[in-house]
């Protein structure tokens, strides 16, 4: 493998996110598109942990008393919480000052059909990776649908700019998939939670899968995927588009009383939902986050029939 191809693979592996719902990270992505967000109701954001405060005695302790302050250990699954929080705060500062305004400017400057075409084109380039992972998961039906999507959109959809496959008569929806999903499907746990610069929220399993996915096209196809002149602009463009598309979710998480915790819990729950769906389980974010689902609308009673007149009209 040439030095250029190896360097490109590292760049793409380090800048490819997986499934960042309501993520608050500055991210650059590769040909493997992050999974589209499940619709996140406001109640799906985990509430802040209540803090119990002493009310009876607010006076400071006497000088002779020994005060012991215990530092709570990091929660299970996030052993590097201290480092992750520093990375999270730094990333948010960059997002507020630079990346967020750039993404919203992009959204305002480009009409929606043009943005959708760019998104469809980049998504179509990742379909071969989705196809391979459905085969690895022994799902030939989903693999065939993915291959059909790629063929239809690459031809009738003008190289994937138009998502013809999801419309009538084909009705082939886009289904994200990757090595991390395959590992989770076969029981590999997520490992420690990480929040990394440029990548954002991830886990050890997802980070490994991200690197493998990002290396597939540069190593198997070669040009232009192994060329930094393609990889860097494509990554930056998709990152900006992704940030603009889900700006309301970014704002919702940022306004949470504990945005780091909310971000972590939402990411881990969302990834579990994706793995469960591959296994045929209909898990929801509300179930994993422990929040009540929105109540179903009350059934509307049918109108009562009008009473018939005692005297029937003569024919």
Mapped onto helix, strand or coil, the DSSP state of residue 259 is helix
From the list 91, 47, 31, 34, the residue with the least C-alpha distance to 271 is 34
**The pLDDT value given to residue 47:** 46
> pLDDT tens digits, residue range 198-250?
889 999 999 999 999 999 989 888 888 888 888 889 889 999 999 999 899 88
Task: For CA atoms 239, 241, 245, 250, give the dihedral sign.
Answer: positive
- Measured CA to CA, the distance from residue 3 to residue 104 in angstroms comes to 36
| Cα 162–Cα 167–Cα 168 angle in degrees, nearest 5 | 140
- Measured CA to CA, the distance from residue 121 to residue 262 in angstroms comes to 32
**The pLDDT value given to residue 227:** 87
> pLDDT tens digits, residue range 107-137?
999 999 999 999 999 999 999 999 999 999 9
Other C-beta atoms lying within 10 Å of the C-beta of residue 187 = 8
Altogether, the residues listed in the chain come to a count of: 315
């Amino acid at each position: 493998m040439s030095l250029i191809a190896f360097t490109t693979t590292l760049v793409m592996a380090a800048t490819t996110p997986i499934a960042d719902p309501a993520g608050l990270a500055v991210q650059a992505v590769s040909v493997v598109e992050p999974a589209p967000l499940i619709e996140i109701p406001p109640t799906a954001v985990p509430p802040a942990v209540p803090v119990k405060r002493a009310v009876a005695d607010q006076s400071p302790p006497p000088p002779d008393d020994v005060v012991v302050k215990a530092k709570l250990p990091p929660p299970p699954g996030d052993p590097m919480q201290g480092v992750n929080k520093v990375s999270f705060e730094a990333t948010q500062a960059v997002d507020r000052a630079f990346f967020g305004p750039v993404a919203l400017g992009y959204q305002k400057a480009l009409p929606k059909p043009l943005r959708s075409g760019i998104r469809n084109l980049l998504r179509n380039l990742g379909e071969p990776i989705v196809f391979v992972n459905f085969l690895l998961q022994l799902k030939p039906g989903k693999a065939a649908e993915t291959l059909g999507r790629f063929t239809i959109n690459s031809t009738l959809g003008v190289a994937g700019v138009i998502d013809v496959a999801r419309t009538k008569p084909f009705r082939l929806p886009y289904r994200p998939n990757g090595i991390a999903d395959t590992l989770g499907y076969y029981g590999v746990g997520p490992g420690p939670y990480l929040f990394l610069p440029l990548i954002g929220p991830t886990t050890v399993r997802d980070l490994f899968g991200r690197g493998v996915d990002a290396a597939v096209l540069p190593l198997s196809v070669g040009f232009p995927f192994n060329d930094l002149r393609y990889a860097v602009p494509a990554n930056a463009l998709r990152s900006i588009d992704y940030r603009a598309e889900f700006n309301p979710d970014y704002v919702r998480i940022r306004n949470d009383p504990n945005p780091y915790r909310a971000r972590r819990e939402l990411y881990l729950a969302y990834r579990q939902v994706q793995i469960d769906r591959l296994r045929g389980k209909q898990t929801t974010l509300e179930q994993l986050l422990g929040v009540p689902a929105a109540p179903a609308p009350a059934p509307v009673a049918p109108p009562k029939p009008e009473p018939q007149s005692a005297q029937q009209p003569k024919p």
